[in-house]
Structure 1
Amino acid sequence: MADYTLEEKNSFTVLGIGTELTSDYTDFAGITKEKADFWQAVKQDGRLDTLKALATNDYIFAVNEAVNNKMMHYAGVMTEESVPEATRVIQFPKGEYLVVKGEAKTSGELSNMLTGIAFGQALAEAKDVAYVGGPNTTVEMGQRNGSVFGEMWIPVVRK
């Protein structure tokens, strides 16, 4: 049984720098590699630091969203500001979210673990709600005892 909660969240905006994921949506290994390569690039070239300088909190968002029939992945922060490097302003709706919490050794491991639990177990077990699309995100919230901790937020509707 997956450990998850349903939480009401206010609408929020994430400013993101993104990439199109070209692996088939069933190719977990391909998607994981594309995301890891993307995160390495935005950390090395300073784009993530540029975003972090605008953030209203310390959270780092890894957002997945279908845009114009393309599977997109974004590195983002919560902010009302913008920078030329940003590729999308991502609006998350006010409403109910399925939330899965966890911690792992790295940001990538945390994101993969939370995504696996959320989509592989929690959504199937949450009988009263459904994910009907829209952006979903893993949120890196900080570090403790050598691990990264955070949550996955998936907007849901009542069935």
Structure 2
Amino acid sequence: MFQTMTFCAWALIIWIRAVAVSSRKAKGGDVIAAVMSIFFGSVHTNKAVGHDVFKMIQRKTTISYDSQGKEVEKISGDIDIHDVHFAYPFRPEKSILQGFSLSILAGNMVVLVGSSGCGKSTVIALVQRFYDLHKVLKLFRAIGGDRSNLILEKIEF
């Protein structure tokens, strides 16, 4: 639907400009310049966004993916997270979690509910160790609370 609207808008712009050129109210070069300025403006914006995406992809992770770590068949036990403060590395000025705490008893199912941008996906990413934390006091009691040397590919929930 969005593409249809975009193509219709472009067709309308070109048709209006064609009428202006045929009635000698504009030159053909003016039409091309107007269309190209719209096109190149979006190219410039997309280039800037692409730069930020590649910067994030190319950053060095602090998480070790070494296969010499501790292998756990299945994690069982309580999950306790206390007083978590977190901001994404690529946006350190925007705090996502501020003093967040969560306790999940072994075998229980939990649903995280909240508005867009409140940190639901961030909590899951932290539990799965996509990001390392410095202020997590206790996590995964069943494996001794230290998950820093776990083999990430082997963890099953």
| TM tier relative to shorter chain | under 0.3
TM-score (norm 2): 0.23
Structure with the larger helix share: 2
Structure with the larger strand share: 1
Structure number with higher relative contact order (C-alpha < 8 Å, ≥ 6 residues apart): 1
TM-score (norm 1): 0.23
